[in-house]
Amino acid sequence: MNLYLISQTENRGYDRYDAAVVIAETEDEARNMHPMDFKKLSIVPKDKPLDLDDWTIPKNVKVIFLGIAANEAKPGIVLASFNAG
């Protein structure tokens, strides 16, 4: 498992996520995670606007590899940045 920083700048403002640190096997898996964890973006068509307005579509998510996660780590969100309004 790997640690990734995921971020987006397309959907800015109050009550929106701008970034998260996630544990995932691949960059693509990380890109399809939602900072709220339980929302699965992989089922959303790539070019269709989301019904949820607190993140963005996967193609707009920037992914940066941070390092290797601990052996016992499970895929998911480690920390998310939410801009409450």
| pLDDT (0 to 100) of residue 64 | 98
| Residue that is written with structure tokens 């019904």 in the block | 51
Q: Which residues pair with 44 in a beta bridge?
A: none
Give me the amino acid identity at 58: P
Residue pair 21/84 in contact (Cβ under 8 Å)? The answer is no
pLDDT at position 54: 84
Where do the domains of the chain lie? 2-83
Rounded distance between C-alpha atoms, residue 34 and residue 22, angstroms:
9
The more confidently predicted of residues 85 and 73 is: 73
**Residue 27: pLDDT band with limits 50, 70, 90:** very high
| Per-residue model confidence (pLDDT) at position 1 | 96
Dihedral sign, Cα of residue 52, residue 58, residue 63, residue 68: positive
Is 0.75 topped by the overall pTM? Answer: yes
